[in-house]
Amino acid sequence: MKPVFVDTAGVVAPAADVPTIPAGAIVGDGEIAWAGVDRNVWQRDSASGWRRLDELGLLSSPVTALAVAHGILWVGTADELLAWEIVGGPVRRYTFAAGDLPLGLYGERGIAAIAPISATRVWIATPAGAFRLDSPF
């Protein structure tokens, strides 16, 4: 099955301009959508379509969570948290060392969801529970 996307007019169309790899997470804000596709983040706006965010570089592992708030796109993987100031800002990375994130009941690891509270404070959901990071960068 070829992936499809719904544009702003509600029209379903084949996704010819994005890879045919499963998306690990997707989030939207206004007219912009971001999708975590394997170890990359893609951005779509109504004017230019989909493009890979080369600003973020290749991530350490597949994207598992995305959130956007306060002008910042948050990206979670199995061992990394990124914050990108959407309007020309820097990319800030926080890498979790082995053992920093507790394993889930079946050994699963990583960031399952991100809930930003402010530009420097986020709640992180993992398979082992949730915790708050204050100024991780």
Q: What is the pLDDT of residue 11?
A: 46
> Which CATH number do you get for residue 43?
2.130.10.10
d(CA 84, CA 56): 8
1 has a pLDDT exceeding 50: no
Q: What is the pLDDT of residue 98?
A: 78
Contact, 22 vs 35, CB < 8 A? no
d(CA 101, CA 86): 27
Contact, 12 vs 35, CB < 8 A? no
State the total domains in the chain.
Answer: 1
- Digit-coded pLDDT (tens) for 10-40: 444 455 555 556 788 999 998 899 999 899 9
Q: What is the pLDDT of residue 105?
A: 86
Domain that holds residue 117: 4-134
Sheet with 65-69, edge to edge strand ranges: 65-69, 72-76, 80-85, 91-95
Q: What is the pLDDT of residue 85?
A: 92
